């Protein structure tokens, strides 16, 4: 019996999966039962499952809370801003890099612009808090060149969202060109030669050969990026915001962290996270189905 | 490829070169600025006039970091965390990737398990259920909460098994003819060929683990268990940016302002990433283009 089991490859495959499933069950499956908190009145002594039911009470409370709509608006504004900048600018950057004939220069620009992707938002927040502070280099330059009085950039409801979107662009722009560059190098040189013979100039070649050549990849990445529309980037905002700019900076995840976890309103926090996660899951399913149908994109 | 040498074409090249130089300068400026501040005289740093070169060269900020015990405790926690995540994570990933590299007819549950892992791990109930769960498991304020959840990484498993699936099928046939079972194939046939992909996931793990700071904010209270990035987050970020100038508070602060000291700690925390960056660049392009459009 046992020897028969050992001769079966299926058995060995399952043995190989034991470690990964242990971690998966402990840290991905177990927490799921915790979402019932969204429908409970949590009593710490009774535990999550023993606490009395609350029905949809927390959701009634939430939809009447004006903060939720503010948080939702901020989330959408910031994530859409990030999505658009990180769709358009990497394409332009990739097209420019693709035009370069000096290999070492192209490699140098790539090396430099990929770098910020690997630095954490903790480090970058430390850096940006310094350069955007009232006595920082940006204010100093603005004052000495344009005679503008120092502005509290990170404490301003006008400036905060643009700074979030631009600093995110600064961090990820270079790295996002990788896929476009890979697609651009796979365009057949004969297409460019044919265009050249037909009398196309440099810009015409970009417009009629390069861009159509990467159109499918652009559409694919645009579709897949919709996944992130409910996530405005917790690490970045959490490390850059402060109480003065909650009006424009507070997003779903930071609100949940502050009120749900730090403020110990566990049920409310879970109620918001649950809706957020479910919507996120629906978006993933939707975008991957689209990508699979129209671009033959497969994860595995 | 034919290159036209008209004036217009050359001008076009120069416009692109100038724009790209500007982009590179803007990218590097904040990083170089911080390094320059860390080496500067605190009094000058406060005036905001430093660009990318230190003014009034001073190593005081760095000598103060040496006195900061917590910095070194946290550095050690981070290194320990990276070592363990790397070691255990690679074993877990490597073992799991093998069954998933099989065809569905060889491993019947393949697609069911893959979808299960993918869907359940993309649905997270948010931080609160995770917090409750860790408390129930007795992992609150425990070093292992910084390591264990990261041992399952779907992206890494995907990277390894896709790498194997791109190897020639004949390799597997040969191993079958020689009578190799799954374990022999795993250790003798695939392992020697997997070094590039293992290097890739190792580099990803090192960078991600080094940069991760949030887990300890939620789960760790004991300062002896704070990773370096979490410690940095607490000293650099929780300082109120609205607070007036820190210089001139007297005593030690006037000698080494928070600004230069923070810049020194930020620079030191960036250092490991800059150090492995050349290796990263060699591997990540390979990694990012895997798992995309397949024929």
CB-nearest to B50 from A137, A154, A274 is A137
Query: How far apart are alpha carbons B59 and B56 in whole angstroms?
Result: 10
A60 found inside a domain: no
A 116-135 near B (Cβ less than 8 A) = 116, 118-120, 122-131, 133, 135
Mean pLDDT, residues B72-91: 96
Same domain for A138 and A215, yes or no, is yes
Can you name the residues that pair with B293 across neighbouring β-strands?
A297
Mean pLDDT, residues B179-199: 88
Same domain for A49 and A131, yes or no, is no
**pTM here?**
0.89
Same domain for A99 and A128, yes or no, is yes
Q: Residue A127 belongs to a domain with what CATH number? A: 1.10.3720.10
Q: Looking at the predicted structure, is the pLDDT value of residue B9 above 90?
A: no
List, for residues B82-122, the tens digit of each pLDDT value: 999 999 999 999 999 999 999 888 888 999 999 999 888 88
CA B77 to chain centre: 16
Same domain for A208 and A104, yes or no, is yes
Comparing B192 with B47, which gets the higher pLDDT? B192
A125 found inside a domain: yes
Same domain for A49 and A92, yes or no, is no
Contact indicator for A125, B236 with CB cutoff of 8 Å:
yes
Same domain for A108 and A33, yes or no, is no
A165 found inside a domain: yes
Percent share of chain B, pLDDT over 70: 87
Same domain for A102 and A194, yes or no, is yes
Query: CA nearest A297 in B: which residue?
Result: B293
Number of domains present in the structure of chain A:
2
Residues of B in contact with A241 (CB under 8 A): none
Q: Looking at the predicted structure, is the pLDDT value of residue B153 above 90?
A: yes
Q: pLDDT tier at B252 (50, 70, 90 boundaries)?
A: very low
Q: Looking at the predicted structure, is the pLDDT value of residue B251 above 60?
A: no
Residue B2: the pLDDT is 53
Mean pLDDT, residues B274-291: 71
Comparing B223 with B293, which gets the higher pLDDT? B223
This model of the complex carries an ipTM of 0.89
- Cite the DSSP H helix spans in chain A: 2-7, 9-24, 47-50, 57-63, 66-99, 103-114, 121-131, 137-146, 160-185, 189-197, 202-205, 211-225, 234-240, 246-249, 252-255, 266-295
Residue B84: the pLDDT is 97
Mean pLDDT, residues B154-163: 91
Q: Do A270 and B125 touch (CB under 8 A)?
A: yes
List, for residues A212-224, the tens digit of each pLDDT value: 999 988 998 898 8
Same domain for A15 and A143, yes or no, is no
Same domain for A25 and A165, yes or no, is no
Same domain for A156 and A221, yes or no, is yes
Same domain for A286 and A263, yes or no, is yes
- The DSSP output letter for A148 is P
Percent share of chain B, pLDDT over 90: 48
Query: CA nearest A274 in B: which residue?
Result: B125
Residues of B in contact with A170 (CB under 8 A): 26-27, 30
- The DSSP output letter for B222 is -
B293: helix, strand or coil = strand
Can you name the residues that pair with A53 across neighbouring β-strands?
A40
Residue B38's nearest CA partner among B229, B238, B268 is B268
B 206-245 near A (Cβ less than 8 A) = 207, 210-214, 218, 229, 232-233, 236-237, 240-242, 245
A297: helix, strand or coil = strand
Mean pLDDT, residues B118-134: 87
Q: Do A34 and B128 touch (CB under 8 A)?
A: yes
A194 in contact with B, Cβ within 8 Å: no
CATH number of B61-292: 1.10.3720.10
Query: How far apart are alpha carbons A170 and A162 in whole angstroms?
Result: 12
Domain ranges, residue A272:
66-295
Domain ranges of chain B: 1-57, 61-292
Q: Which of A54, A75, A97 is the last residue of a domain?
A: A54
Same domain for A259 and A112, yes or no, is yes
Mean pLDDT, residues B264-292: 78
Residue B292: the pLDDT is 43
Which residues of chain A have a pLDDT value below 70? 1-2
């Amino acid at each position: 019996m046992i020897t028969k089991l050992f001769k079966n490859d299926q058995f060995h495959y399952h043995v190989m999966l034991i470690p990964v499933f242990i971690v998966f069950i402990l840290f991905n499956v177990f927490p799921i039962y915790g979402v019932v908190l969204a429908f409970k009145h949590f009593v710490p002594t009774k535990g999550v499952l023993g606490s009395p039911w609350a029905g949809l009470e927390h959701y009634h409370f939430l939809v009447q809370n004006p903060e939720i709509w503010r948080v939702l608006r901020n989330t959408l504004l910031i994530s859409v801003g990030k999505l658009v900048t990180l769709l358009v600018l990497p394409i332009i950057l990739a097209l420019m890099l693709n035009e370069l004939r000096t290999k070492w220069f192209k490699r140098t620009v790539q090396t430099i612009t990929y770098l910020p992707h690997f630095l954490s938002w903790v480090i970058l927040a430390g850096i940006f808090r310094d350069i955007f502070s009232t006595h920082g280099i940006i204010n100093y330059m603005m004052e000495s060149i344009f005679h503008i009085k120092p502005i509290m950039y990170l404490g301003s409801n006008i400036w905060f969202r643009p700074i979030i979107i631009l600093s995110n662009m600064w961090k990820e722009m270079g790295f996002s060109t990788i896929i476009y560059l890979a697609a651009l190098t796979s365009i057949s040189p004969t297409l460019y030669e044919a265009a050249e013979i037909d009398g196309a100039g440099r810009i015409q070649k970009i417009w009629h050969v390069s861009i159509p050549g990467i159109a499918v990849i652009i559409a694919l990445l645009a579709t897949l990026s919709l996944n992130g529309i409910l996530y405005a980037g917790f690490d970045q905002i959490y490390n850059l915001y402060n109480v003065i700019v909650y009006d424009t900076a507070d997003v779903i995840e930071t609100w949940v962290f502050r009120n749900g976890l730090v403020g110990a309103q566990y049920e409310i926090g879970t109620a918001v996270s649950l809706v957020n996660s479910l919507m996120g899951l629906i978006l993933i399913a939707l975008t991957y189905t689209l990508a699979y149908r129209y671009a033959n994109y497969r994860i595995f | 490829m034919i290159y036209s040498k008209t004036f217009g074409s050359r001008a076009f090249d120069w416009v692109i070169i100038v724009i790209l130089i500007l982009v590179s300068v803007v990218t590097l400026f904040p990083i170089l600025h911080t390094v320059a501040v860390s080496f500067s005289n605190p009094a000058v740093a406060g005036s905001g006039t430093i660009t990318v070169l230190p003014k009034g060269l001073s190593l005081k900020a760095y000598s103060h970091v040496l006195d900061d015990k917590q910095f070194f405790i946290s550095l050690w926690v981070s290194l320990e965390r990276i070592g363990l995540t790397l070691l255990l994570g690679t074993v877990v990933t490597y073992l799991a990737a093998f069954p998933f590299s099989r065809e569905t007819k060889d491993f019947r549950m393949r697609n069911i398990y893959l979808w299960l892992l993918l869907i359940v791990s993309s649905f997270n109930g948010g931080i609160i259920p995770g917090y409750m769960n860790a408390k129930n498991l007795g992992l609150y304020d425990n070093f292992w909460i910084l390591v264990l959840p990261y041992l399952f990484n779907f992206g890494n498993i995907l990277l390894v098994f896709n790498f194997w699936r791109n190897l020639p099928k004949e390799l597997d046939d040969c191993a079958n003819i020689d009578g190799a079972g799954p374990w022999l194939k795993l250790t003798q046939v695939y392992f020697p060929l997997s070094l590039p992909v293992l290097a890739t996931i190792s580099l990803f793990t090192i960078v991600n683990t080094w940069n991760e700071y949030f887990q300890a904010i939620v789960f760790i209270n004991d300062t002896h268990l704070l990773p370096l990035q979490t410690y940095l987050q607490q000293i650099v970020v929780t300082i109120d940016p609205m607070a007036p100038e820190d210089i001139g508070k007297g005593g030690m602060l006037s000698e080494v302002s928070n600004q230069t000291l923070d810049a020194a700690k930020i620079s030191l925390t960036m250092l490991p990433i800059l150090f492995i960056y050349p290796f990263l660049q060699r591997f990540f392009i390979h990694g990012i283009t895997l798992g995309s459009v397949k024929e």
